[in-house]
Structure 1
Amino acid sequence: MPRTVISPLIARSWLLVPASKPELFEIAQESEADAIIIDIEDAVAAKDKAQARADTVEWLSTGHRAWVRINDAASEFWSTDLAELKDAPGLEGVMLAKTESASHVDDTADRLPEGMPILALVETARGVLHVERIASAPSTFRLAFGTGDFKRDTATGDDPIALAYARSQLVIASRAARLPAPIDGPTLSMGALADGTRLSKEMGMSGKLCLTHTQAATINAGLAPSAEDVAWAHGFVRAFEESGGKITDGSDLPRLARAQKIQTQARDFGIEADAAALGELNY
């Protein structure tokens, strides 16, 4: 079955697909990933970029749609990427690798059709340092965190606390610029994926990159409200309405806002309330 269409504003799983392996494009499209990103940057060796780019343009010109991760603005490949991709009818947007300034976003937008969304991938110390300006650039659609390259750039370790500051900077910058919550980097191990996704959500991120289609379902579940959460939200809103909207204490309005947000997410992601939980909860 084709994947469910989810708005990129709220997309949870962002599947990176190597452009050098076009045989994976169809598998990605049929997967549970909320969004597909064909990767012509890190996933493709320099000698293979021309062919990978051509295969990507062909795919996007034959009734298919996807995002594309392009090479960074300082790269010799950046201008060619944009020149060849800009007229591809299925291009949903671009992910700009190693974004380090607002000008990188602005210069990229100047070479794309007006309104084309740009995911600014922040993956260096300079990028984190300038993330507020990057988030505020007019063409920045959403921020993403390139954890692997950031760790290499800063010699940061694998302990989650080592990346907490950088993740928080992306979350704060996104909120201040009225962007959707950012997209976290991938978790390489399938065994650690549930915990990695839980960490992303705890840090305030609402999306996560993945490197294989088999990770999409776990990410989608981890970054969406549970059936129990949905049951609680429906019950709270119903009880609030039945009381005539009476405020009993200072926690009612925050709880109502949380319940309404969960209801919206449930509709967007097609999540049903847990019937047993709905019947058992006391409101």
Structure 2
Amino acid sequence: MSLAHATTLLFVPGDRPDRFERALRSGADVVICDLEDAVAVDAKETARDHVRDAAAAGARVAVRVNAVGTAWHEADVAMAVEHRLSLVLPKANRAAVAALAELDLGGTEVLALVETARGLLDAADVAAAPSVRRLALGHLDLATDLGVAPDVLTVMDHARTTLVVASSAAGVVGPVDGVTPQLRDAERLADDLTRAERLGMRGKLCIHPDQVAAAADRFAPSPQELAWASSVVTAERAGVAVVDGQMVDAPVLARARQVLARRRPHTSPSSAAPSSAAPSSAAPSSAAPSTTEGEPA
């Protein structure tokens, strides 16, 4: 699925090919093979080879490359471009996006992960960059950069709304919210999803397959929302000016169409794993929570 239409994006460590198949069968819209935070320095090259092999065997994944300026960045990007894999750019800011544009991307879709103060200030320029399809929030790393706890909502909600405004101004789909590291806390996940959706975020970075279904449900319009949106569009076509006591003017009609556009098509799991893949031994539900943005359990 295109990054523009994804609401659930699941990380899996690039150096754990035994987990690829379960991730691909999780139902996530996009599986992101992580070559950055989840992979130790001495395993970077091996992780890239694992992802290359999976892509060559037919796995359709995205790749979080190592940051601009690191020893692995250009080789990571070249591998993604070679296999036509979408690319997640960490530590995204104006300078990083400009440096990425100097490489031959060949039309590769880019999800820009904003996780620093500089990136937040540059969000409008990042969202407007030709190669960037969408923004995502790395709130754990952003909190560290700012010297605050990641649960300080006044700060993190400001970051979310900044990305929402930047995305809207650039004409790209609403941004993807950061991870919920509390893997066994369904209530916390539900709260995070509700808050993000109400602020205008339009997707979720997940770090465990068990988080995918809840995220998909939250970012899909409810039956009530769909019924309202359909009635508004139908009324406008029939020349009716009021629906449920509310005037149907241009902003109301535009919102109704946005709701209908968010309907989730009936799809199978994100992409089939390569046929030669060994049975997965992906992370068990009892795995310890992650402490790094996007690092899977």
TM over 0.5: yes
Deviation, structure 1 residue 187? 1.0
Counterpart check, 1:42 vs 2:37: yes
Match of 1:208 among 199, 204, 207: 204
- Write the letter of the residue equivalent to 2:255: R
In structure 1, runs of 5+ residues without a counterpart are 1-5, 272-283
1:23 counterpart = 2:15: no
Aligned residue type for 1:75: T
Q: Which has the higher contact order (CA 8 A, sep 6+)?
A: 2
Give secondary structure in 1 for the equivalent of 2:226. Answer: helix
- C-alpha spacing 1:255/1:160, structure 2 compared with 1 (3 Å): same
Judge which range, 158-167 or 109-118, deviates more: 109-118
Identity %: 35
Task: Look up the match of 1:108.
Answer: 100
Query: What is the identity, as a one-letter code, of the residue corresponding to 2:107?
Result: G
Q: How far apart, in 2, do the equivalents of 1:263 and 1:83 lie?
A: 37
1:219 partnered with 2:215:
yes
Please say if residues 3 and 133 of structure 2, whose CA atoms lie closer than 8 Å, have aligned partners that are also in contact.
Answer: no
Q: Distance in 1 between matches of 2:232 and 2:160?
A: 32
For structure 2, which runs of at least 5 residues remain unmatched after alignment? 268-297
Q: 2:256 aligns with which of 255, 259, 269?
A: 259
Q: Do residues 68 (structure 1) and 63 (structure 2) align? A: yes
Deviant stretches of 4+, over 6 Å: none
Q: Does 1:95 align with 2:92?
A: no
Amino acid at match of 1:204: G
Aligned to 2:127: 135
Indicate if the aligned counterparts of 1:109 and 1:118 stay in contact, CA closer than 8 A.
Answer: no
Amino acid corresponding to residue 172 of structure 2 in structure 1: L
1:199 Cα offset (Å): 1.0
Given the alignment, which residue of 181, 193, 214 partners 1:197? 193
TM-score (norm 1): 0.85
Instruction: Give the TM-score normalised by the residue count of structure 2.
Output: 0.82
Q: Is the 8 A contact 1:105 1:118 kept in 2?
A: no
Structure 1 counterpart of 2:257, one-letter code:
Q
Which residue pairs with 2:278 in the alignment? none
Q: Which residue of 1 aligns with 2:170?
A: 177
- List per-residue Cα deviations over 1:205-260 (Å, max 9, x = no partner): 1011000111011001111101222223334444454xx31324873123333333
1:270 shift after superposition: 4.1
Counterpart of 1:234 (choices 218, 230, 233) is 230
What is the alpha-carbon root mean square deviation over aligned residues?
2.0
In the alignment of these two chains, the number of paired residues is: 260
